[in-house]
Amino acid sequence: MKAAGSMIQDIQERINRLRAERPAGSTDQPAVTYDCSKCKDEGGFIKRDKDGVERWVFCECWKQKQTERLFKSSQITEEFQKLTFQGFVTNGRPKVVEEAFLAAKHYFMNFRDIREKRENSIALLGEPGCGKTHLLMALSNNLIKRGVRVQYFPWVEGYNDLKNNLDLLDEKIYQMQTVPVLFIDDLFKGRREATNFQIEQLFAVVNYRYLNHLPILVSSEKDIDEICEIDMGIGSRIYEMCKDYTVVLKGVPGLNYRIRELEDAYVPNVQ
């Protein structure tokens, strides 16, 4: 058996031999890997402009991560995140559907200019199946990609959640009041009459946003008159906020694309 000193000497010789065989410039530390090789996960980098001035530039990876965080906080499902203006079909559909499409796109293009004004919101109202949710979801997705925080509130599911978590009611209502953009989908959908709880909480949200010039995106099967019949305070505020961008989709054949697709798919059995 080798003495302890001899064994240590052998180990040291092996280490020296491995070091000698290692390529020049290598170290004992493992190579560092980054999710983004461009900014090395710093979120940006210093760039020198043509005048020689150094400035901090945000990396594309930072913008992508910001968008991912905004989508996560928006409560918009992955399926709804896929909805776009490009994917919305207007060919062969009633003219008012195209008007809604153009209103949603025009609203998005002018959002920066109107977001702090009184008339800074949009309402698409009318029959089910005419694309109201699709258009306002495409609008929401585009705002998020521009860095604007949006919260999605589907009326039926949203109020069920509020009612089932009363301990968090004040916190959730405050979030709806203060989020930069609030999308209320299918307003007053469901039961024939809205409950006092729904009206009270909705008024608190709408009134706060009205007073503080915070935009609302609204879809509903009810028009402004019908909303005012439920609560004049809510309806009149929504009307004033949305009056530059309100489209009512009612009273025109062929509005419901779901029914139309069923009719197109039906082939009568003719003997």
β-bridge mates for residue 46, sequence order? 56
pLDDT in tens, 128-158: 889 999 999 999 999 999 999 999 999 999 9
- Dihedral (C-alpha) 226, 229, 231, 233: value to the nearest 10 degrees? 90
Domains and CATH numbers, the chain: 67-258 (3.40.50.300)
Taking each helix axis from N to C terminus, what angle separates 60-74 and 132-145, rounded to the nearest 10 degrees?
140
Smallest CA-to-CA distance from 119 within 29, 269, 257, 243 is with: 243
The answer, yes or no, to whether residue 126 has pLDDT greater than 80, is yes
pLDDT surpassing 60 at residue 188: yes
pLDDT at 104: 97
Judged against a pLDDT cut of 70, whether residue 7 lies above it is answered with no
User: 32: which 2 tokens?
Assistant: 């560092």
User: What are the CA-CA distances from residue 223 to residues 6, 218, 229, 250 (Å)?
Assistant: 93, 11, 10, 9
Structural tokens at position 192: 């024939």
Nearest-angstrom CA–CA distance, 225 and 133? 20
Distances in whole angstroms, Cα of residue 72 to Cα of each of 34, 68, 76, 221: 23, 6, 7, 28
Say if strands 150-154 and 122-126 run parallel, antiparallel, or are unpaired. unpaired
What pLDDT was estimated at residue 173? 96
* pLDDT, position 252: 75
Hey, what are 158's tokens? Answer: 């949203």
Alpha helices in 165-256 (DSSP H): 169-178, 196-211, 224-230, 232-242
Q: Average pLDDT of 85-112?
A: 94
Mean pLDDT to the nearest integer, 77-86:
91
Average pLDDT over residues 52-79: 73
